[in-house]
Amino acid sequence: MNLLQQFKCFVFDMDGTIYLSSRVIPGAKELFKMLDERNIPYFFFTNNSSRSPKAYIEKLERLGFGSYKREKIITSGDVTVDYIKKTFGSSPSVYLVGTPSLHEHFESSSIRITSDETPDCLVVGFDTTYNFEKASKAVDLLREGVPFLATNVDAVCPLDGGDVLPDCASMCAMLTHATGRKPKFLGKPSFETAQYIKNKAGVQFEEIAVVGDRLYTDMHLAMDNGMCAIGVLSGEMTQADIDASEQKPSFVFDSVADLHKKLL
């Protein structure tokens, strides 16, 4: 039996895995067509919390993948919302360092955003609107002992041409340096994300395969939580990275085109 055909659910990273910026990875559309024809469930998961799930749905349609429903898209923001409500109750208050899209995401999930009272927690996301005012307020709250959460552990966000932007973990590093406080990181590769996926898929961890191009997020999400790690070399991760890692993915392909061929 083809071992890859035993999985009951696939979870796909997006940028670097099924597309690069606005260029579709060859074979990606054919892979999803096959999964749809075989009624094999799959989800898309991005650690980038700066954009709304709606924006990812629109991008997938714009790139020709088809029209997907909201439940197919999971972001680190979804996992963070779920964790906050389980930890602080159904209507928690949050001081949020995040983009307007993340603010809308939280507010639509009955999370109250506040800046003039002590909140239940401070949340930092990948914030392209980050400024000194937000950083100063965050430092004050952390010095008061407010719980410190972060949507994702990514240090940088890759751009076209090899450029990068400082991502969530880099912003948190500044706050940690100023206060000595370290955040609880959600998103990939946290256990909270693995549990969120398991609950959404309705299957066991060992029945889920995670497909992605980053070793420290996508692959460790799978390897650290009993899921199958399927690495692709179409984005950030290289074979040298894998060779140097103590833990290694169960499968490594040049791209999802090769995964598609193996699943035929």
Q: What is the pLDDT of residue 157?
A: 85
User: For the whole model, what pTM was predicted?
Assistant: 0.95
What does the angle CA 134 – CA 137 – CA 141 come to, to the nearest 5 degrees?
Answer: 135
pLDDT (0 to 100) of residue 226: 97
pLDDT at 111: 96
The DSSP call for residue 70 is G
| Cis amide leading into 189 (omega within 30) | yes
Judged on CB neighbours under 10 Å (0-12, 13-18, 19+), 208 is buried
* Contact (CB, 8 A) for 140 and 66: no
Q: Write out pLDDT tens, residues 180-230.
A: 999 999 999 999 999 999 999 999 999 999 999 999 999 999 999 999 999
Q: Which amino acid is at 179?
A: T
| Interacting residues of 158 by C-beta distance below 8 A, sequence separation 6+ | 15, 16, 164, 235, 236
Return the DSSP state at 227.
P
- d(CA 20, CA 34) in angstroms, rounded, equals 21
- Band (pLDDT 50/70/90 cuts) for residue 53 is very high
| Domains defined for the chain, CATH in brackets | 3-47+188-263 (3.40.50.1000), 77-185 (3.40.50.1000)
How far, in Å, CA of 19 to CA of 17, rounded? 6
pLDDT band at 164 (very low <50, low <70, confident <90, very high): confident
Bridge partners for 150 per DSSP: 124, 185
Tell me which long-range contacts 153-156 makes (C-beta under 8 A, separation of at least 24). 153/47, 153/185, 153/187, 153/188, 153/189, 153/190, 153/216, 153/217, 154/47, 154/48, 154/126, 154/187, 154/217
Encode 219-258: b = buried (16+ Cβ within 10 Å), e = exposed. Answer: bbbbbebebbbbbbbbbbbeeeebeeeeeebebbbebbbb
Q: State the Cα–Cα distance between residues 205 and 214, nearest whole angstrom.
A: 20
Residue 90, pLDDT score: 86
Average predicted confidence (pLDDT) for the chain: 95
Q: Which residues of 190-206 are buried (b: 16+ CB within 10 A; e: fewer)?
A: bebbbebbbebbeeeee
Distance (Å, whole) CA 221 – CA 246:
15
Report the 10 Å Cβ neighbour count for 100: 12
pLDDT of amino acid 2: 79
Summarize pLDDT for 129-160 with one digit per residue, the tens: 999 999 999 999 999 999 999 999 999 887 76
Closest CA to 227 of 253, 246, 201, 245: 201
Give the position of tokens 């959404």: 200
For 122-131, the pLDDT digits (tens) are 999 999 999 9
Query: What is the predicted pLDDT for the residue at 58?
Result: 97
